[in-house]
Amino acid sequence: MGIRTGREFIESLRDGRAVYINGGRVADVTDYASFRGIVATLAALYDFQHEHPAELTYRSPLSGNPVAAGFLMAKTIEEVKFRSRAELMRADFNYGLMGRMPDFCNAFVTDLACGPEDLGVRDKRLGENMVSYYEECREGDLCLTHTLIDPQVDRSRGPAEQSDPFLTMRPVRESDRGVIVRGAKMLSTLAPFANELIVGPFMPRKPGEEDYAISFAIPCNTPGLKFVCREPYDDGRHGDFDRPLTSHYDEQDALAIFEDVLVPWERMFIYRDIEIYNTIMMRRLGFTQLQACIRGLAKLKFLTGLACQIAETIGRTEAIHVRAQLGELVANVELLKGLVRNGATEVADARAAGVPPLAISATLWVFIPKAHMQVAQAIRELSGSGIILTPTEADFDNPDIAHHLDKYLQGKGVPARDRVRLFKLAWDMVGSQFGSRQHQYEWFYAGDPYFTRNRFYGLPVVKEYKDIVARLLERGGLAKKG
Among the four given CATH numbers 1.20.140.10, 1.20.1250.40, 2.60.120.620, 3.30.300.20, the one describing domain 285-461: 1.20.140.10
pLDDT at position 81 is 94
Would you give the DSSP letter of residue 23?
Answer: T
pLDDT at position 298 is 98
pLDDT at position 354 is 72
CB 267 within 8 A of CB 110: no
pLDDT digits (tens, 9 = 90+) for 174-233: 999 999 999 999 989 999 999 999 999 987 899 999 999 999 999 999 999 999 999 999
In this predicted structure, the answer to whether residue 479 has a pLDDT above a threshold of 70 is no
Of residues 134, 258, 285, 140, the one with CA closest to residue 191: 258
CB 13 within 8 A of CB 30: yes
In this predicted structure, the answer to whether residue 449 has a pLDDT above a threshold of 60 is yes
CB 184 within 8 A of CB 170: no
pLDDT digits (tens, 9 = 90+) for 51-93: 999 999 999 999 999 999 999 999 999 999 999 999 999 999 9
Determine which of 216-230, 314-328, 340-354, 429-443 has the lowest per-residue pLDDT on average.
Answer: 340-354
Tell me the C-alpha to C-alpha distance, in Å, between residue 180 and each of 203, 256, 405, 479: 21, 15, 61, 70
pLDDT at position 481 is 58
Give the count of beta carbons closer than 10 Å to the beta carbon of residue 252. Answer: 24
CATH topology of 6-280 equal to that of 285-461? no
DSSP 216-284: EEEETT-TTEEEEEPPPS--SS--TTT-TTHHHH----EEEEEEEEEEEGGGEEEES-HHHHHHHHHHH
- For 21, phi then psi, to 5°, come to -160, 145
DSSP 92-136: HHTTT--TT-HHHHHHHHHHHHT-HHHH-SS-HHHHHHHHHHHHH
pLDDT digits (tens, 9 = 90+) for 19-52: 999 999 999 999 999 999 999 999 999 999 999 9
pLDDT digits (tens, 9 = 90+) for 360-376: 999 999 999 999 999 99
Residue 252: pLDDT band with limits 50, 70, 90: very high
CB 142 within 8 A of CB 42: no
Letter for the amino acid at 436?
S
Tell me how far apart the alpha carbons of residues 25 and 427 are, in angstroms, rounded to a whole number. Answer: 31
Tell me how far apart the alpha carbons of residues 294 and 107 are, in angstroms, rounded to a whole number. Answer: 12
pLDDT at position 208 is 94
Round to the nearest angstrom and report the end-to-end CA distance of the chain: 78
Of residues 272, 270, 207, 461, the one with CA closest to residue 356: 461
pLDDT at position 16 is 96
Q: In what order do the strands lie in the sheet with 268-271?
A: 144-147, 196-199, 214-219, 268-271
Phi/psi region, residue 384 (left: phi>0; alpha: psi -120 to 50; beta: rest), is left
pLDDT digits (tens, 9 = 90+) for 103-159: 999 999 999 999 899 999 999 999 999 999 999 999 999 999 999 999 989 988 999
In this predicted structure, the answer to whether residue 355 has a pLDDT above a threshold of 90 is no
pLDDT at position 482 is 52
Would you give the DSSP letter of residue 164?
Answer: S
- For 92, phi then psi, to 5°, come to -60, -30
Dihedral sign computed on CA atoms, order 319, 321, 327, 333: negative
pLDDT at position 437 is 95
pLDDT digits (tens, 9 = 90+) for 450-478: 888 998 998 999 999 999 999 999 987 66
Letter for the amino acid at 213?
A
CA angle 244, 443, 275 (to 5 degrees): 130
Tell me how far apart the alpha carbons of residues 292 and 442 are, in angstroms, rounded to a whole number. Answer: 11
Which residues have C-beta within 8 Å of that of residue 329, sequence separation ≥ 6? 303, 304, 307, 308, 374, 375, 378
DSSP 402-448: HHHHHHHS-BTTB-HHHHHHHHHHHHHHHTSHHHHHHHHHHHTTTS-
Q: Which CATH architecture has domain 6-280?
A: Beta Barrel (2.40)
Of residues 269, 135, 146, 296, the one with CA closest to residue 215: 269
Query: 187 preceded by cis ω (within 30°)?
Result: yes
Which residues on neighbouring strands pair with residue 61, listed in sequence order?
none
pLDDT digits (tens, 9 = 90+) for 377-414: 999 999 999 999 999 999 999 999 999 999 999 999 99
- Cα dihedral: 319, 322, 327, 333 (round 10): -150
Every domain of the chain and the residues it spans: 6-280, 285-461
Tell how strand 57-59 and strand 66-68 pair up. antiparallel
Tell me how far apart the alpha carbons of residues 432 and 306 are, in angstroms, rounded to a whole number. Answer: 16
Determine which of 271-275, 316-320, 377-381, 449-453 has the lowest per-residue pLDDT on average.
Answer: 449-453
pLDDT at position 478 is 61
Tell me how far apart the alpha carbons of residues 324 and 303 are, in angstroms, rounded to a whole number. Answer: 16
Tell me the C-alpha to C-alpha distance, in Å, between residue 19 and each of 6, 12, 193, 252, 482: 21, 15, 10, 11, 78
In this predicted structure, the answer to whether residue 284 has a pLDDT above a threshold of 80 is no
